[in-house]
Structure formats: structure tokens, C-alpha cells
Amino acid sequence: MKFSRIASTGGYLPEKILTNADLERMVDTTDAWIRERTGIEKRHVALDGQTTVDLAEQAARQALADGGFSPGDIDLIVFATTTPDRVFPSCACLLQQRLDIHGCAAFDIQAVCTGFVYALSVADKFIRTGAARRALVIGAETLSRIVDWSDRSTCVLFGDGAGAVVLEASDEAGILSSHLHADGQYESLLTVPAGVSDHPERLRAGDAFIEMKGNEVFKMAVNTLGRIVDETLDASGLDKSAIDWLVPHQANTRIIAATARKLDLPMERVVVTVDRHGNTSAASIPLALDVAVRDGRIRRGDMLLMEAFGGGFTWGSVLVRF
Ligand code: ACO
């Protein structure tokens, strides 16, 4: 078996919802501003004590059940997150223990909003080389823990959630190609400028939050995602008319619409969840995929283009025959 294919999907959003009206009571903003600039109407936020792995476990169990798999069928766990439960063990290991899986490779990937694209690409390579047969690939975040809830320029953007897929070996190509990039020279435009080793005093003081030069990130995202569309189509020799669905990272409807225009895709062929989920970073693509598979829009055989851009900067795409 030379290829990998997505066998099943799962998703989970925490119960607590924060609407734009709620944010109007917290910072100097308006529902109209948030909708117009971002397309976001509400987002889900984890409860106190509810962790990234708690959300991931729900999404993973749904993906396993959806495909008729038991945890013992999994021989690789790749977990994309920017907001891990602990410094260590990794979220992948914590999830492995929850699912009562023992012995297989399990590790985290940190590529911020591009995390799921990275994770899917890495898992695909494990399967193609024969190192794994069935991988659980997760994107899960509790971004609410690194949002400064008094900063109106960032707190309106983010949400919490988890998405999962089971990727398995196949004779037919599911993942057709993947394209990963990063350029660390832009690290200061989108960052949490403190951590375990750098400014640990800020982390200890509870002063380690997302900082973003939104306008510059916006321009870079639109241009870079335009280029990744070209790169992906060129590599596969496909015309843009072959794409049935764009399943983009959900940061902002204006960024998503720009990529759709580049593909000549009407918005009816774009999976948009940012209005209800906000930006859930590594969770946004698998959550969007799960929503569109579950509501019957995405069907077996459809051609999907997933793309993402995020802190690092990192960016990438995956072309998928679902
Ligand atoms: N409510 C009301 N006004 C606001 C708010 C708010 N929530 N936030 C900012 N403003 C004000 C600003 O203060 C500014 O006021 P001024 O003109 O008086 O100075 C004005 O609105 C315009 O601010 P801009 O930042 O220029 O607004 P912009 O149109 O660029 O929209 C946004 C901001 C939505 C953040 C946009 O830049 C964006 O989406 N950027 C990209 C975000 C992204 O894609 N991030 C990547 C992924 S995230 C990750 O990797 C973790």
C-alpha cells in the first residue's frame, strides 16, 4: 500500500460559548466591527480545568467510532497544538494513555495555525514509508489560555476546539501532495513572547499572551496563501477547476475569500466555520472538515484543498482525494 487516505473524522467544541455581545461587555468593541473585519459571530471557550487533551479525547473518540476503529488499531499519534496541557509529557502521550493505546510512536507538532497541515503531512510520510499503518492525527487548542482578554485587537479572534482524523494505508491515493514552509524572520509579527526558557518570569506572572501585528499578518497571509495555491496545483498538474472544496484555516473570512477568488471557487464550495468557531489555530481545519463531512457537503471522491498560515511564520497545504 503506497498511499494514505482519510478514513474518518471527528470534532469537539467545548460547551461554553462566547458571543460578540459578550465581548462588547468585556472590551471596547462592537458586534458590527468584529463581523465586518473578521466574519466571527461567536466562539467556544474551554471551561476552567478543561484542557487541550480533554477536547482532543472527545474528537479522537468520535473519529475512531466514525471509522469503526478501536484504539488498538492505531499505531501512530501525531498531535498538533500550540497550547499543550503540560511542558511534558506531550499531548500525544497524554492522549495515548487516555485511549489505552500502548507502545506506538506519539509526538506533538508545534506549527501554530499550520499545525494540522504539518501533522497530516508527517503522518502521511510515516504511512507511505511503511512505518505506520493507521494514524490518529489531531489538531486541538485551548487558545483562550494565551489570549489577553483585555486586548480588543486579539481577544475577539480566537476560540477553543479539537478536530481529528484517522489516516490509514491505502492502495489508492488519498493525500495527493503536501507542501510545508516556514520563515522564522517574521517571528515578531505573531508571537507569545515568553515561555519556559525565554522570559520565564512573564510566564510565571501570567503575562504571556498572543501579540500580533494584525495588519501585517493579514497582508502576508493573503499573499502567501495565493502562492501556496499555485504551488499545490503546479505540483499535481491539476487545473483549479479540479478542486471541489477549499477547507482553509479559519482565521478571517476576508483572508478565506481571497484564496477562494484565487481558485475561482464560489463561496458555496468553501467550508467556512470561522463565524461560529473563531480562529482555533491547529484545530480549525480538522474541525471544518468534520463539520462538512458530517453535514453531507463533502463526499467520498471529492477533491479537497486544505491550506493554512500562522505564527512562525509557517504555512502549507494538503491536496486530498477524500
Ligand atoms: N473592535 C473595535 N476596534 C478595533 C478592534 C476591535 N476588536 N480591534 C482593533 N480595532 C481598531 C484598531 O485600534 C484600529 O483603530 P485606529 O484606526 O483608531 O488605530 C482599527 O480598528 C483598525 O485596526 P486594524 O488592525 O488595522 O484592523 P484590520 O482591518 O487589519 O483588522 C484584524 C484587524 C481582524 C486582526 C486583521 O488584521 C486580521 O485578521 N489579521 C490576520 C489575523 C490572522 O490571520 N492571524 C494568523 C493566524 S493566527 C495564529 O497563527 C495564532
pLDDT one-digit tens code per residue, 109-160: 999 999 999 999 999 999 999 999 999 999 999 999 999 999 999 999 999 9
DSSP 8-state class, residue 298: S
DSSP assignment letter at 28:
S
Asked if residue 281 has its Cβ within 6 Å of ligand 1, the reply is: yes
Q: Residue written as cell 479522537?
A: 60
Measured from the CA of 249, which atom of ligand 1 is nearest? 47
DSSP E strand boundaries for the chain: 3-12, 17-19, 42-44, 76-80, 105-109, 134-142, 160-170, 175-182, 190-191, 211-212, 245-248, 303-310, 314-321
| CB 111, CB 310: distance < 8 Å | yes
Average pLDDT over residues 188-214: 95
Is 80 exceeded by the pLDDT of residue 85?
yes
pLDDT of residue 97: 98
Average pLDDT over residues 276-297: 98
**How much distance in Å is there from the Cα of 153 to the middle of ligand 1?**
5
Q: Which helix (H) or strand (E) holds 215?
A: helix 214-236
Give 243's pLDDT tier (boundaries 50, 70, 90): very high
Q: How far is CA 153 from CA 29, 30, 142, 214, in A?
A: 9, 12, 18, 8
Of the chain, the percentage scoring pLDDT greater than 90 comes to 99
Instruction: State if residue 254 touches ligand 1 by the CB under 6 angstroms criterion.
Output: no
Told to judge if 113 belongs to the known catalytic residues of this protein, a careful annotator would answer yes
Task: Specify the length of the chain in residues.
Answer: 322
- Asked if 314 and 181 touch (Cβ cutoff 8 Å), the reply is yes
pLDDT bracket for residue 281 (50, 70, 90): very high
The CA distance from 310 to 243, in Å, is 23
Q: What is the CA radius of gyration of the chain?
A: 18
Candidates 254, 251, 264; CA nearest to 305 is 264
**Statement: residue 1 has pLDDT above 90:** no
- Exactly one of 113, 155, 252, 277 is catalytic; which is it? 113
Which ligand 1 atom sits closest to the C-alpha of 114? 50
Give the integer Cα–Cα distance in Å for 229 and 168: 25
pLDDT surpassing 80 at residue 245: yes
| CA 38 to centroid of ligand 1, rounded, Å | 8
Q: Ligand 1 within 6 A of 280 CB?
A: no
Mean pLDDT of 79-84: 98
HSE-up of residue 11 (Cα within 13 Å, Cβ side): 22
Contact 88, 72 (CB under 8 A): no
Residues above pLDDT 70, as percent of the chain: 100
**Beta carbon of 255 within 6 Å of any ligand 1 atom:** yes
Whether 259 lines ligand 1, by a CB cut-off of 6 Å, is no
- The three cell numbers of residue 49 are 480545568
pLDDT at 131: 97
pLDDT by residue (tens digit) across 13-64?
A: 999 999 999 999 999 999 999 999 999 999 999 999 999 999 999 999 999 9
155 included as an active-site residue? no
Q: Helix, strand or coil for residue 234? A: helix
Residue whose CA is at the smallest distance from ligand 1 atom 21: 153
Confidence of residue 103 (pLDDT cuts 50, 70, 90): very high
Q: For residue 230, what are the contacts with CB-CB under 8 A and spacing of at least 6? A: none
Cα–Cα distance, 52 to 150 (Å, whole number): 23
Strand partners, 174: none
Atom of ligand 1 nearest to the CA of 217: 41
Q: How far is the CA of 233 from the centre of ligand 1 (A)?
A: 31
Q: Where residue 104 falls among pLDDT bands split at 50, 70, 90?
A: very high
Inter-CA distances, 216 with 44, 149, 213, 223, 256, Å:
26, 22, 6, 11, 16
Q: So what's the pLDDT on residue 287?
A: 98
